[in-house]
Amino acid sequence: MARRLPASIVKFVNAQPTLSLANMLEDPWKPRAKRPFPFEEYIYPMVASVLLSGRISATSKNLPNKTDSERWCKASNFNPFLFEWLGAFLVHSNIVERENTAFKPGKNARALQYRDLNACRHAFFDAFAAEIDARTPRGVYRSHFPQQAGFEGYLRAFASAFKGKAIPADRLGNIALAFSELPTKDLEKASGIDSAVGSVVASSQWFDATGQDAFERAMAATGGFDHESDGDDRQWLYISGELEVILGVASAGRAPTNQEFSVCADLTVRASCHHALDTLASLHRFANVEHKDQIITFKLDPIAIKEAAVNPALLSKFRGLLESFQSQLPPTVERLLTSGNADRELGTLHAHLCQALIGPGSPKLLNAIRQHRKLKNYLAAGAPPGYLLIKAQSDPWNFLERCREYGFELKVYQ
């Protein structure tokens, strides 16, 4: 049963310019996005798993490398701006986190790994706090982190007050400030959070000119609002169904459970986006995305499988993953995985860092390095016969770290 709002809040809402969502979204071609469970849409686990696959490196700012991201987006026909937004959200929400030059599952990975509603809540507020902090100038006092400063209670009160209503996008900051100045007891009652646990209402100090902008951008960055435009092209915002579930204003539906997984003779693998992140990450490492939806269609990549041959354990693990879902693999897939193991013994790289020279242990290894998609761009022309020369602007240690990452054995001489 919905909470009964205090009279002061009802009066405040009635005084604001609002539109009824029931009227705004009655157009059958513009249905309101209904997500029975937070982060259910396929784009969240798909982008998280491609980050975890190792195909996209991490920058010093902990974000996905833009060159790697754009290359993957072009190959997968994925919107690069959407990828950039999702990549930042996944990092700021601690669903994934940086480890050296790669990504690993973060403390809130359970939000996608196991469809954990409590982890979804923590992920949202971690991302919200990161966005607020990034847009708060040095020297500006904001009391505490958003959760501790009562932002969760504030958002719950706001979502309850404006449930079923949209507000003008250009008035959001002013409305947020005025709402925070309503009687504290009434806001606490609307939030439904026991004030005995501590502060549950964000103070108005968060909504000065800078704070209003930070709040608006943080809500946009975390998907807290959905938006529609009216006949005059004016933008209207309303609390997203996803955030209503996170805040407890709306009930969550069942977590998705589709576990489809099939390996086909044409080298495609059809897998539900609701599989574990490590399963999807393995597919991203050895396959390319051909179709994106709740069921993702991958196409096994012969080049990626051949490059993985220098690390037989990794390729064997991938084969075991496929066989755990489908014990009898198609002959075409069997041949591809077997051919990947053709040249296991390539030798050892000898690196002389004082000269930035790499001495491969065999002609096969030299050729494998030169043709490797992630390594060949480090190399310069003019190397002595039987050697590889690292470009002057490239970091030799970074090159060697990449070689180890892709399974090549190294010996380094200082």
Task: Please name which of 405, 366, 404, 403 lies closest in space to residue 384, comparing C-alpha atoms.
Answer: 366
What is the reported pLDDT for 354? Answer: 53
Tell me the whole-structure pTM to 2 decimals: 0.78
Which amino acid is residue 385, in one-letter code?
Answer: P
Structure tokens that stand for 318 in this block: 């991938």
Per the CB < 8 A criterion, the answer to whether 223 and 238 are in contact is no
Report the relative pairing of strands 409-413 and 348-352 from DSSP bridges: parallel
C-alpha dihedral (20, 22, 26, 32), degrees to nearest 10 = 100
Structure tokens that stand for 329 in this block: 């693999």
pLDDT tens for the chain, 414 residues long, are 456 899 999 999 999 999 888 776 655 444 444 556 899 889 999 999 999 999 999 998 899 999 999 999 999 999 999 999 999 999 999 999 999 889 999 999 999 988 899 999 999 989 988 888 887 776 665 544 444 457 788 888 999 999 989 999 999 989 998 998 888 888 888 888 655 444 555 566 678 778 888 888 888 889 899 888 877 888 999 998 889 999 888 888 888 878 899 999 999 999 999 999 999 999 999 999 999 999 999 999 998 888 877 778 888 899 999 999 999 999 999 999 887 555 555 566 555 555 566 776 677 888 888 888 888 888 888 788 878 888 877 887 788 888 877 778 777 665
Per the CB < 8 A criterion, the answer to whether 141 and 130 are in contact is no
Spatial separation of the C-alpha atoms in residues 51 and 104, rounded to whole Å = 8
Domain boundaries, the chain: 7-247, 261-339, 348-413
In the chain, how many H helices and how many E strands? Answer: 18, 15
Spatial separation of the C-alpha atoms in residues 207 and 179, rounded to whole Å = 10
Spatial separation of the C-alpha atoms in residues 366 and 389, rounded to whole Å = 11
Sheet containing 261-263: which strands, arranged edge to edge? 261-263, 268-272, 295-300, 287-291
> CB-side exposure of 45: number of CA atoms within 13 Å?
30
What is the reported pLDDT for 329? Answer: 94
Q: Give the phi and the psi of residue 352 in degrees, each rounded to 5.
A: -105, 95
Spatial separation of the C-alpha atoms in residues 96 and 109, rounded to whole Å = 6
Spatial separation of the C-alpha atoms in residues 238 and 164, rounded to whole Å = 8
What is the reported pLDDT for 278? Answer: 94
Per the CB < 8 A criterion, the answer to whether 365 and 346 are in contact is yes
Spatial separation of the C-alpha atoms in residues 241 and 4, rounded to whole Å = 20
Per the CB < 8 A criterion, the answer to whether 127 and 221 are in contact is yes
Per the CB < 8 A criterion, the answer to whether 23 and 164 are in contact is no
Spatial separation of the C-alpha atoms in residues 53 and 285, rounded to whole Å = 5
Helix (H) or strand (E) holding 210: helix 209-221
Spatial separation of the C-alpha atoms in residues 200 and 194, rounded to whole Å = 8
Per the CB < 8 A criterion, the answer to whether 205 and 142 are in contact is yes
DSSP class of residue 58 equals B
